[in-house]
């Protein structure tokens, strides 16, 4: 479905089920249906997978893009769906956006799972911007989703992805255009997002200490080489989880940034653990009130 907070139209994939809802936030250049292989593990649960502005079937304002806009997109979804106590699952930029939204809408989420979020070391903010011009050279037009899949499935980084995740990425990552298909996140928009990764207004550290909800940071141990903009390396500051009042740090040895794409089952396990923790907390609260 789509809705329009103000002049901007946002797309949200909505699967019915019981509360609390699980809200999925995707990475830069991706789309909501990249979460299908995780979302399908919770058939009885309400699931929402938004598509950020510039991505998927949402509106596409012209660059430049501010990272704070994506937190506002999640806040618009929280308002539209009247979310209270939802569970937020965000990968990469999606993790950053969930933290940004949690500061804007404190009651919207009861727990967050941040999968290799793009929340950099504090000293990185305000430094030289990332050189992401290579993104502009991405192939933007394709004959079909199958053409895209055939091109990617034997190439890095896609060759190590779960095959069905790659299929979902291709099937929903293109939009009809003319006699073919075009990327649902245009390269110029993706490049602008990367270029503003460490802009001063992307710094969330002033808000983080005030967040009381439990936060799990699930991060890869793949590190970038000095001075190299490596999309497969973990962008997450190792000290991030300790900045939250109720943070938990989980490091995945031998993993790179594409955790939900390569091992969606690991994300499912962490969501199940969060749900169990929330149920235990609710039971304890009930006992305390008796």
**Per-domain boundaries in the chain:** 2-132+197-288
CA of residue 200 relative to chain centroid, distance: 20
Report d(CA 103, CA 105) in Å as an integer.
6
Confidence of residue 63 (pLDDT cuts 50, 70, 90): very high
pLDDT tens per residue across span 237-290: 999 999 999 999 999 999 999 999 999 999 999 999 999 988 887 754 544 454
Measure CA of the first residue to CA of the last residue in the chain; give whole Å.
42
- Nearest 5°: CA angle at 274, between 49 and 91? 40
What is the chain's percent helix, strand, coil content, to nearest 5? 40, 20, 40
Q: Which CATH architecture has domain 2-132+197-288?
A: 3-Layer(aba) Sandwich (3.40)
Q: Tell me, what's the pLDDT at 28?
A: 98
**In the 8-state DSSP scheme, what is residue 16?**
-
**In the 8-state DSSP scheme, what is residue 149?**
H
pTM of the model: 0.96
Q: Tell me, what's the pLDDT at 283?
A: 58
User: Is the predicted pLDDT of residue 224 greater than 90, yes or no?
Assistant: no
CB atoms within 10 A of CB 141: 12
Confidence of residue 140 (pLDDT cuts 50, 70, 90): very high
Is the preceding peptide bond at 157 cis, omega within 30 degrees of 0? yes
Percent of the chain past pLDDT 70, that is, above it, reads: 97
């Amino acid at each position: 479905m789509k809705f329009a907070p103000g002049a901007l139209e946002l797309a949200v994939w909505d699967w019915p089920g019981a509360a609390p809802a699980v809200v999925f936030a995707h990475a830069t250049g991706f789309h909501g249906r990249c979460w299908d292989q995780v979302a399908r593990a919770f058939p009885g649960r309400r699931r929402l997978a938004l598509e950020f502005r510039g991505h998927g079937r949402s509106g596409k304002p012209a660059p430049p893009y501010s990272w704070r806009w994506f937190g506002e997109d999640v806040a618009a979804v929280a308002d539209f769906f009247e979310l209270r106590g939802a569970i937020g699952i965000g990968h990469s930029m999606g993790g950053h956006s969930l933290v940004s939204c949690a500061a804007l809408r404190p009651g919207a989420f009861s727990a967050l799972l941040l999968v290799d979020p793009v929340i950099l070391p504090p000293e990185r903010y305000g430094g030289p911007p990332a050189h992401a011009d290579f993104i502009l050279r991405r192939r933007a037009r394709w004959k079909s989703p199958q053409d895209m899949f055939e091109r990617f499935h034997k190439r890095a980084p896609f060759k190590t992805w779960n095959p069905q995740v790659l299929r979902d990425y291709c099937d929903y990552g293109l939009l009809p255009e003319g006699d073919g298909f075009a990327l649902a996140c245009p390269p110029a928009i993706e490049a602008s997002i990367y270029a503003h990764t460490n802009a001063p207004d992307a710094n969330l550290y002033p808000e983080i200490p005030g967040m009381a909800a439990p936060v799990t940071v699930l991060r890869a141990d793949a590190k970038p080489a000095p001075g190299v903009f490596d999309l497969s390396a973990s962008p997450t500051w190792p000290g991030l989880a300790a900045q939250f009042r109720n943070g938990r740090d989980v490091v995945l040895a031998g993993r790179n940034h594409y955790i939900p794409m390569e091992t969606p089952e690991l994300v499912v396990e962490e969501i199940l653990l969060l749900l169990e923790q929330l149920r235990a907390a609710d039971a304890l609260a009930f006992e305390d009130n008796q």
